[in-house]
């Protein structure tokens, strides 16, 4: 029997939030989402806006792309959000925040964030280690390669590749 989380009428089971900028969404993101969907009853992908980054794609486009690549996962939904991730997690009633970790540098940074989120907001973090095929993949690397006209087809889902190609085509006027 599914449990209803206190304070969140109608919420059933364990809810996780997987936040990120997803600029662009990668095969590594998709792998983490699929694995999180097996661990939790529901997963909300939070497409955030990081004021410290200059995005290649607007938030609405990123959210649409993530929605497309997770369309076969009925327990996964996508929302955009502004502000602190812990505030978003609390707002949607999430039990945990999912973070993908590729290497020891990611882990060091993510551990600090997880401890802070737990201390400040009482929100737990679950780390999902990257599949070895995706440990060298990052959105910033993909943006750099794509902006230079390089082939990123092995690093992003087809829907994302199409969007990046369209954006590059518009940008170059070719």
Residues labelled catalytic: 29, 53, 102, 139
In order, the DSSP letters of 87-117 are HHHHHHT-SEEEEEE-SHHHHHHHHHHHHHH
CA distance 147 to 71: 27
Contact 110, 117 (CB under 8 A): no
Name residue 4's beta-bridge partners: 12
Name residue 18's beta-bridge partners: 45
């Amino acid at each position: 029997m599914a449990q209803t989380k206190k304070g969140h009428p109608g919420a059933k089971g364990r809810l996780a939030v997987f936040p990120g900028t997803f600029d662009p969404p990668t095969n590594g993101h998709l792998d983490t989402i699929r694995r999180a969907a097996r661990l939790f009853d529901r997963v909300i992908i939070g497409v955030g806006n990081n004021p410290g980054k200059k995005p290649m794609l607007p938030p609405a486009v990123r959210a649409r792309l993530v929605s497309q690549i997770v369309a076969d996962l009925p327990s996964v939904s996508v929302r955009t959000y502004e502000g602190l991730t812990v505030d978003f997690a609390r707002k949607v009633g999430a039990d945990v925040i999912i973070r993908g970790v590729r290497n020891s540098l990611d882990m060091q940074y993510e551990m600090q964030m997880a401890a802070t989120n737990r201390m400040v907001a009482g929100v737990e973090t679950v780390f999902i280690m990257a599949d070895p095929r995706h440990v060298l993949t990052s959105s910033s690397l993909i943006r750099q390669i794509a902006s230079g006209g390089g082939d990123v087809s092995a690093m992003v889902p087809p829907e994302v590749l199409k969007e990046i190609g369209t954006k590059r085509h518009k940008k170059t006027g070719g």
